[in-house]
Structure 1
Amino acid sequence: MPLWKIVHTPGLFTETDRTQLSRDITDRYEKAGLPRFYVVVTFAETDPSNIYVGGEQRPTVRVEIAHIARHQDGATGRRRVAQWVNDVLATHLDREGLHWEFHIDETSEELWMINGYVPPPGRSEAEKAWRTANRPMDY
């Protein structure tokens, strides 16, 4: 499961912007082999008085990403994923005067369940079945 928590100052995203960014994120993970329902994106608009960068208030987007379904081995793989995330975000966030950043945590898949199911191993036939059905089920 990738979980994207997007915290931002007001007025940066319309509903259409949020929908498009969420779909762009989900599409990328689907192309990498994950079921679409693994991808969760949340938006939390935060009052400007509650976001400071370098001790100052400014228009900001801060993205916290948890990767659980897939992990990268080595610095090269992790850097490739960071660039991949950067490419997705830059399309939506590369704006004059906007401070934006992200980080990615990798959490053990052993600490993850969906609707009470332990997800199948990555790239397994069971995961492919989940992907096709776009929902968790017995395997």
Structure 2
Amino acid sequence: MPFHRFYCSPNLYTKEEKQAIAQAIVKFYANLPPFLVIVNFIEVEKDNFYVGGESTDRFLRINVQHSAHNAQDTKEKRDWMDGYEKAIEPFTKGKGINWELQITNADVSPIV
């Protein structure tokens, strides 16, 4: 179940853009039922978001947590990242903002 957190300023995205982002991410996970893909927008006021010691409202931090399938090798990781960046590009590079993406893979090893 992939869980996506978008940390952004309150006015960075409209309601319609948020829905379009969520739909683009669901489409990216075409092999999963849509109800398993979660996208959460966490709005952070400018005076609570600092980059390089300066407050900003033109920055986006994305954290994706995978709790089922994890990429197994460097090529699979790179292919996933390239595809994801392409899916959300209109809302990142296309908006001219600074952004970064972090992927966290949960431990899926069996419990013994």
Q: TM-score normalized by structure 1?
A: 0.72
Identity, % of aligned pairs? Answer: 25
In 1, the alpha carbon distance for the partners of 2:67 and 2:103 equals 10
Spell out the pairing of 1:1-139 with structure 2 (5 A cutoff).
Answer: 1-29=1-29, 31=30, 33-58=31-56, 59-94=58-93, 95-96=95-96, 98-109=97-108
Runs of 4+ in 1 over 4 A off after TM superposition: none
Larger relative contact order (CA 8 Å, sep ≥ 6):
2
Task: Sort the Cα spacing of 1:7 and 1:52 in 2 relative to 1 into closer, same or farther, 3 A.
Answer: same
In 1, the alpha carbon distance for the partners of 2:27 and 2:68 equals 16
* Per-residue deviation, 1:66: 0.3
Stretches of structure 2 lacking an aligned partner (at least 5 in a row): none
In 1, the alpha carbon distance for the partners of 2:34 and 2:102 equals 21
* Structure with larger Rg: 1
Stretches of structure 1 lacking an aligned partner (at least 5 in a row): 112-139
The structure whose residues are more often strand, as a share, is 2
Q: TM-score normalized by structure 2?
A: 0.88
Number of aligned positions between the proteins: 108
